[in-house]
Chains A and B, each alone.
Chain A
Amino acid sequence: MIKKFVIRTLIVGVIFFGILIVVLLATSQYVERKGFRNSQTESNTLVIESNREYDLMFMGISHARNFSRHGNHEVVESILNKKIINIGQGGGACGINEQLFYLDYFYSKGNKVDTVFFILTPPMLTSEKLPFSSNTFDSELFDLKFFCQYLSFDSENKYERIVQYMQSKLKSKWVNSEPNHTIGKKDSLVEVDMEAVRKGMQLVHGRNINVERFTKSCIGVEKIIKTAKKHNSFIVMIIPPALFGKWPEHNLVVNFAQKLKKKQGVDFYDFSESVLIPKYYYDHHHMNTKGVEYFTAVFLKPLL
């Protein structure tokens, strides 16, 4: 009887999960067919193809993604005259560790990239929220290779992410997702609102900066560098500009990055105070399209 129970339970499980997987794959196929470019989606799996060669990659959190959002991708490609892939993830979707995963996934598909601009936003290394975010893969295709690769990846909130990854593919928001054709982010600030900055900082850090988390993140950054080096990509670490200049953990990150520069032979640039003009921002640390154009032309172009 127990054999019958186990076999029947397994069969039911396989059928139920089989149907579920088919549905997940079907919704993903449906979305994929809509055709997305890097500037039109926050998803990485929709734009990472196989066996492609790129000149430049942006990775990091929203400040990296911002080089592609709002149609900025094509603008930056044109200024730098490079073929670019952006795997940065905004919206609080992921931190250092999952960026490492995306980089791994990119290489595992036989892709190559010459230079990686690792946009090292300081709070990315101290945030307690990013390593535990569960919306990481909400915009990603349900892809069996991606899924299995993440199953074997070491992550702090793996199972919750996996469940939400699957669940998100069954939601109308995913099925109805369309390429974002917005060209240019035109909103701009007039002045620095220090009260808004203070509130924003508190939202990011709470009361204190978590040093233990920072140490963990440093290990993650080193892993990213090793992975890139292994695949013959040159890493350039960049602290992006913010209208208020330095983030509270600025010195921690700069000291760490400078050590890495010597130890790993990577490049490092601190551009935190390079753009302090409100009209180039749509909030206190995200540049609008004009800001991106300006920063890319004046600060990034000379690096290549």
Chain B
Amino acid sequence: MLFNSLQYLVFLPLVFAIYWGVNNKSLKLQNLFLLAASYYFYACWDWRFLFLLMFSTGLDYYTGLKMKDASTVGMRKFWFWLSIGINVGFLGIFKYYNFFAESFAGLLSGFGFQANFWTLQVILPVGISFYTFHGLSYVIDIYKNRIEPERNIVDYSLFVSYFPLLVAGPIERATHLLPQIKKRRNFDYTKAVDGLRQILWGLFKKVVIADNCAKYVNVIFDNPESYSGSTLALGAVLFAFQIYGDFSGYSDIALGTSRLFGIELLKNFNYPYFSRDIAEFWRRWHISLSTWFRDYLYIPLGGSQGGALMKVRNTFIIFLVSGFWHGANWTFIAWGLLNALYIMPSIVLNTNRNNLDVVAKGKYFSTLGELIQIIITFAITCFAWIFFRAKDLDSAFSYIKRIFTSSLFTIPKFNSNQFSTKVLLILILFFLLIEWIGRSYNHALEIKDSTSFYLKWTLYFFIFMTIMIWGVTTKTEFIYFAF
């Protein structure tokens, strides 16, 4: 079930009504019901993978308890590595097996050996990277004595499978989500209203911005040889808006939905395209994944404690793994490495924490210097997105080569007549304007109480009508479902 489907439009109010109406008196019933709704939500894609989700949940629940009750350090280690091994193993089989088999065969053939490995015809279970990371963080936290294992199977299962975050995050932590699941929740009118606003904005970002940009991006990236350098450059820019609108739109709908149930999820995006340097960008982009890697990989590897060389090594590892997390393709690894190269000067020079606060805080406009910094950061981010979007490394390099020709200085032209370019550009400008105004808030449509009634409702209605008029209605999955 997609967030941008009519099915969800029926599912959400129904779950909301039963959750608060029928089960309001019992936390146990509420959690059990939310879990059942979450499993139904997941089963709408492919009910067979529900068993994999349940197995993964059961495994981490059981090994968590076993680690706690282990009488020796050895047993504790055994249960820990069993859980890690099986979790990573599943991820490896479903997501990476074919990549390694093909890459290894390719490597051997480079040395003159012919090797044939079996490749598997596997379907990637939706959300496997996300729920596996939920489970991993839980098991690691228990092993490191940061948390106690959860003894209630329903509560734990809900932590892993809670439907707003199940298929594309944010990647939650037991320390943040489990206490909320275990605590009696009271309906909060203000938060619920704000949740609806966040859903509205998320939907706008997905169906209006991302899906309309996708129409151009697909045409351009599928036939780069037919376009000028300037059009290809614009294609990369539009992909930047597509992926941001898609993923942050999904996250907004997830967070907004969760607020309706009285549960706050981790913020996943913090206006990344207003970043003044690449380090700031990574503090604002897919925050729940970045912080996961920071806490469970970067810091255990020594973080920034062991001098400049170790910092450089660890940063490269983090970006390499982050790229690989996105998919079994060399393009993602190249994207990760490129970002590591971008961030490296600030790591070495210790300037990576220069821009911690929001740009032009409390002001309407940034300074010219800040604006230039933002544009440069956005430009290099767009350049890296080319690797992320291309189907393979050859295509990415060929795309880049075609950008840097004399045609880069011509007016971009599209062969697509699916959607008016002018309308798209106006919508992107409107989108950027609202994001700029709301950049200090949790989400762009978080409106102050003091805002004029008419202005507020005109804006809501405008966004609603924009979705109705220009929203893409064909079934388009969220990009991050594939990760």
Interface residues, chain A, with chain B CB atoms under 8 Å away: 1-2, 4-6, 9, 12, 16, 19-20, 134, 159-160, 162-164, 166-167, 170-171
Contact = CB atoms under 8 A, between A and B. Distances in A.
Contacts of A171: 469
Contacts of A1: 187-189
Given A5-B189, A170-B468, A171-B469, 11 more contacts: A2-B187, A2-B189, A9-B196, A12-B460, A134-B474, A159-B6, A159-B7, A160-B473, A160-B475, A163-B6, A166-B468
A20 B7 contact: no
Given A160-B475, A167-B468, A167-B469, A5 B461 contact: no
A20 B471 contact: no
A5 B193 contact: yes
A92 to B, nearest CB: 14
Contacts of A163: 6, 473
A162 B5 CA distance: 12
Contacts of A159: 5-7
A167 B473 contact: yes
A108 B471 CA distance: 32
Residue of B17, B21, B468, B475 with most chain A CB atoms under a 10 A cut-off: B468
Contacts of A6: 17
Contacts of B193: 5
A217 to B, nearest CB: 22
Contact of B192 (A5, A19, A170): A5
B20 interface: yes
Contacts of B49: none
B70 interface: no
A170 B6 contact: no
A167 B212 CA distance: 15
Interface string B242-255: 00000000000000
B192 A134 contact: no
Contacts of B469: 167, 170-171
Contacts, number: 41
B473 A134 contact: yes
A162 B473 CA distance: 9
B480 interface: no
A64 to B, nearest CB: 26
Nearest to A9: B196
B320 to A, nearest CB: 40
A32 B468 CA distance: 22
Closest 7 CB pairs of A and B: A159-B6, A163-B473, A1-B189, A170-B469, A2-B187, A164-B473, A2-B20
A20 B465 contact: yes
Contact of A160 (B21, B460, B465, B474): B474
Interface in B414-464: 460-461, 464
Contacts of A2: 20-21, 187, 189
Contacts of B473: 134, 160, 163-164, 167
A11 to B, nearest CB: 12
A110 to B, nearest CB: 31
24 contacts: A1-B188, A1-B189, A2-B20, A2-B21, A4-B189, A5-B187, A5-B189, A5-B193, A6-B17, A9-B196, A16-B461, A19-B461, A134-B474, A159-B5, A159-B6, A159-B7, A160-B474, A160-B475, A162-B6, A166-B468, A167-B471, A170-B465, A170-B469, A171-B469
B165 to A, nearest CB: 23
Nearest to B207: A163
Interface in B1-46: 5-7, 17, 20-21
Interface string B184-198: 000111001100100
A19 B21 CA distance: 29
A248 to B, nearest CB: 28
Contacts of B189: 1-2, 4-5
Contacts of B468: 20, 166-167, 170
Contacts of B471: 167
A22 to B, nearest CB: 12
Nearest to A158: B6
A240 to B, nearest CB: 30
Contacts of B5: 159
Nearest to B192: A5
Nearest to A8: B193
Contacts of B475: 160
Nearest to A172: B420
Nearest to A163: B473
Contacts of A12: 460
A16 B6 contact: no
A166 B372 CA distance: 43
A170 to B, nearest CB: 5
A284 B192 CA distance: 59
Of A5, A6, A170, which is in contact with the most chain B CB atoms at under 10 Å from its CB?
A5
Given A159-B6, A159-B7, A16 B192 contact: no
Nearest to B470: A167
Nearest to A6: B17
A252 B69 CA distance: 68
A228 to B, nearest CB: 32
Contacts of B465: 20, 170
A9 B20 CA distance: 15
A166 B473 CA distance: 11
Nearest to A16: B464
Contacts of B192: 5
A5 B259 CA distance: 13
Contacts of B464: 16
Contacts of A166: 468
Contacts of B187: 1-2, 5
Contacts of A20: 465, 468
Contacts of B196: 9
Contacts of B188: 1
A163 B473 CA distance: 7
Interface string B174-189: 0000000000000111
A161 to B, nearest CB: 9
Contacts of B20: 2
Nearest to B469: A170
Contacts of A19: 461
A39 B461 CA distance: 39
A167 B6 CA distance: 14
A134 to B, nearest CB: 6
A151 to B, nearest CB: 11
Contacts of B6: 159, 162-163
A9 B193 CA distance: 9
B14 to A, nearest CB: 13
